[in-house]
Amino acid sequence: MMTKASVILGLSAALLSGCYKTETEIKEEAPKLEVTTPLREDTSVVKEYVCQIHAIRHIEVRALERGYLQNIFVDEGKMVKTGQPMFKIMPNIYQAELQKAQAEANTVNIEYLNTKGLADKNIVSLNELALAKAKLDKANAEVRLAATHLGFTDVNAPFDGIMDHLDVRKGSLLEEGALLTTLSDISKLWVYFNVPEAEYLDYKTHKSGDEPTQVKLRMANGQVYDQTGVIETIEADFDNTAGNIEFRATFLNPDKLLRHGETGTILMEKPYKNALLIPQKATFEILDKTYVYVVKPDGKLEQRLIDIEASVPHLFILKDGLKEDDKVLLDGLRKVHAGQKIEIDFRPPEKVRAELDLYTE
Q: What is the pLDDT of residues 194-210, one digit of tens each?
A: 999 989 998 888 777 67
- Tell me the pLDDT band of 54, cut-offs 50, 70 and 90: very high
Asked if pLDDT for residue 14 goes beyond 50, the answer is no
* Contact between residue 107 and residue 99 where contact means Cβ atoms under 8 Å apart: no
What's 114's domain CATH number? Answer: 1.10.287.470
- Cα 337 to chain centroid, rounded: 46
pLDDT(25) > 60:
no
Pair (208, 255) in one structural domain: yes
Q: Which of 130, 152, 174 marks a domain boundary?
A: 152
Contact predicate 195/245, CB 8 Å: yes
In a domain, 6, yes or no: no
Q: Report the alpha-carbon distance of residue 202 to residue 272 in Å, rounded.
A: 11
The mean pLDDT value of the chain amounts to 87
Single residue among 242, 273, 304 that ends a domain in this structure: 273
Rg from Cα positions in the chain = 42
CATH number of the domain where residue 257 is located: 2.40.30.170
Q: 225: pLDDT confidence band, cut at 50, 70 and 90?
A: very high
Share of the chain above pLDDT 70, in %: 90
Domain assignment present for 111? yes
Q: What percent of the chain has pLDDT over 90?
A: 57
CB of 126 closer than 8 Å to CB of 139: no
Q: Stretch 286-294: mean pLDDT, rounded? A: 94
Looking at residue 97, its amino acid is: E
Residues 294 and 260 in one domain: no
Helices (H), the chain: 4-28, 92-120, 126-151, 197-206, 349-360
- Does any domain span residue 307? yes
Which of 177, 228, 231, 175 is closest to 203 using CA atoms? 231
Top pLDDT among 152 and 245 is at 245
The answer as to whether 5 is a domain residue is no
What range defines the domain where residue 118 resides? 91-152
Quote the pLDDT of residue 28.
Answer: 56
Residue 11 has pLDDT above 50, yes or no: no
pTM, two decimal places: 0.70
pLDDT of residue 24: 47
The pLDDT of residue 275 is 92
Model confidence at 26, pLDDT cuts 50, 70, 90, reads very low
d(CA 351, CA 225): 34
210: burial class by Cβ within 10 Å (0-12, 13-18, 19+)? Answer: exposed
Do 104 and 133 belong to one domain? yes
Reference 40, options 269, 286, 323; nearest CA is 323
Residues 231-254: pLDDT tens digits? 999 999 998 888 899 999 999 999
Same structural domain, 144 and 292: no
* Pairing of β 32-36 and β 343-346: parallel
Residues 69, 171: contact at Cβ < 8 Å?
Answer: yes
Taking the alpha carbons at both ends of the chain, their separation in whole angstroms is: 75
Q: What is the pLDDT confidence band of residue 355, given thresholds at 50, 70 and 90?
A: confident
Please check whether residues 268 and 289 belong to one and the same domain. Answer: no
State which amino acid sits at residue 198: A
- Of 273, 289, 322, which one is at a domain's C-terminal end? 273
Query: Is there a single domain that holds both residue 221 and residue 286?
Result: no
Is the predicted pLDDT of residue 315 greater than 60, yes or no?
Answer: yes
Asked if 254 contacts 16 with a C-beta cutoff of 8 angstroms, the reply is: no
Amino acid occupying residue 268: M
Is 132 inside a domain boundary?
Answer: yes
Q: Are 316 and 266 within one domain?
A: no
- What CATH code is carried by the domain that includes residue 302? 2.40.420.20
Q: What angle, rounded to 10 degrees, do the helices at 126-151 and 92-120 form?
A: 160
Indicate the pLDDT class of residue 358, thresholds 50, 70 and 90: low
Domain check: are 235 and 289 in the same one? no
**346 in the same domain as 324:** yes
Is residue 332 within 8 Å of residue 20, measured between CB atoms?
no
Q: Does residue 118 surpass a pLDDT of 70?
A: yes
Euclidean distance between CA atoms 39 and 277, whole angstroms: 5
Same domain as 98, residue 246: no
What is the helix, strand, coil percentage profile of the chain, to 5? 30, 40, 30
Q: Are residues 187 and 268 in the same domain?
A: yes
187 and 257 in a single domain? The answer is: yes
Tell me the C-alpha to C-alpha distance, in Å, between residue 144 and each of 32, 102, 222.
Answer: 97, 9, 56
Q: Is 96 helix (H, G, I), strand (E, B) or coil?
A: helix
pLDDT of 58 over the 60 cut: yes
Task: Determine which of 1-5, 184-188, 193-197 has the lowest per-residue pLDDT on average.
Answer: 1-5
CB-CB contact of 61 with 84 (8 Å): no
* Residue 235 falls inside a structural domain: yes
- Return the bridge partners of 283, or none: 292
On whether residue 159 sits in a domain, the answer given is no
- 271 or 162: whose pLDDT is higher? 162
Number of domains the chain contains: 3
Residue pair 177/63 in contact by the 8 Å Cβ criterion = yes
